[in-house]
Chains A and B, each alone.
Chain A
Amino acid sequence: MKMKKLLLIPALAVATSTAGASIPINGFIESKCVIQSDTAGMFGNPTVDKLSTKSADGGVMPIVRYDIVTASKYKAVITTPTSFSTAPSLSDTVDWTSTTVAGQMSDAGMSVFNTDKVIYNNGHTTEFDLVKAGSVWFNVTSEAEYGYGKAFPSGNYTALIVAECIAK
C-alpha cells in the first residue's frame, strides 16, 4: 500500500506542473481613437506683420498624432486657429490661413486620408475619414498676418488647435 502511495507522488507532481503551465492569457482590443499632441508648434516671425508655423518662416509646425485601432469607426476633425487665445492688444484685424495634411503614416493606404479629406469653415476645419487602422501624424501650418503690413506688437502669442475624434 505504501509503495502505491509513493508511486502516486511523481504522477501528481507531473499533473500539477502540467496544470500550472496552461494558464491562459486573455486579451481584448477594443475599438478606440487616441489623440496625441506630438509636437507643440512655435510661431516664427519672418516679417514684422506675419507669424507663421512654417519652418521656412522660422516656425515649428505643430503635429498631432492619431492612433486608430479599428478602421472606419471614427473621423478626425482638426480646426486651426482663427484668433489668438492670448496676445497683446491688437487694434487691427488678423488674417488667418492654414493647412492640415496627413504626413507620416504607419500604412501607405492611409494616403486616402489626404485625397478624401473635406475642408470647410473658410479652410480652417479639415475632416478626415479614418478608414484605415494604424497611426497617422497630421501636420498643421498656421499663418497670421496683421492689418496691411502692420507690425505685430511685442509680447506673447498663443493660438489653439482643436483636434477631434468623432465616432461614426
Chain B
Amino acid sequence: MRFIVLLLLLTGGYANAHQFTPTYPELEMSHMAGVYKADMVLLNTREDIRYYGLNVFDKDWNPVRFATASKIVPLDYRERKYITIYISNREVDKAKYICSKSKILLTVREPSIVSSRICSKLK
C-alpha cells in the first residue's frame, strides 16, 4: 500500500491538490546587499483555485515583512511556479514560516469550500 501511495506521489497523480516545497527552506544571501532569499516551489492541481497568497510569519505567527515578485500568485490548473522570497537582514532573525494559501474567488458558490494553507519552516 505504501508503495502505491509513494508511486502516486512520484508520478504527481494528484487530482485536486496544493503543494508547497521545500519543507525546510534555507535562507541565503541574494544578489542585493543585506537581503536574504529563499527559493520555493508552488504547484496547483486544484481545479477550483487560480490564485495563492504568500506570507511570512515569526514563531508566534505575527507577519514578517518580505518581498517577492507578487504576493498573490496567479497559478493555472496543473501549473508549477518557482518563487523567490526576499527578507531583509533586519527581519531575517524573526522569520520562521513561509506560507502559501489558496485564495477563493467570490464567484465560487459551492456549499462547502476547502481553503488550503501549507507552511514551510525556515532552517
Contact = CB atoms under 8 A, between A and B. Distances in A.
B16 A86 contact: no
19 contacts: A33-B23, A34-B19, A40-B112, A43-B111, A67-B14, A67-B17, A69-B6, A69-B9, A85-B104, A106-B5, A107-B1, A134-B1, A158-B110, A162-B115, A163-B115, A164-B116, A164-B119, A165-B117, A166-B121
B21 interface: yes
B2 interface: yes
A62 B18 CA distance: 17
Which applies to chain B's interface (DSSP): helix, strand, loop or mixed? Answer: mixed
Nearest to B47: A37
Which applies to chain A's interface (DSSP): helix, strand, loop or mixed? Answer: strand
A82 B24 CA distance: 32
B113 A161 contact: yes
* Chain B interface size range: 35 or more
B74 interface: no
A91 to B, nearest CB: 21
A115 B111 CA distance: 30
Contact of A163 (B24, B117, B120): B117
B118 interface: yes
Interface stretch (A4-12, A13-21, A23-31): A23-31
Contact of A40 (B9, B18, B110): B110
Contacts of A101: none
A135 interface: yes
B26 to A, nearest CB: 13
* Chain A interface size range: 35 or more
A30 B23 contact: yes
B46 A32 contact: no
B119 to A, nearest CB: 5
B48 interface: yes
A30 B22 contact: yes
Contact of B19 (A32, A43, A142): A32
Which are the 10 A-B pairs with shortest beta-carbon distances? A41-B112, A167-B121, A35-B116, A37-B114, A36-B17, A164-B117, A31-B23, A166-B119, A62-B112, A165-B118
Given A67-B14, A158-B110, 5 more contacts: A40-B114, A42-B112, A159-B112, A163-B115, A167-B23
B90 interface: no
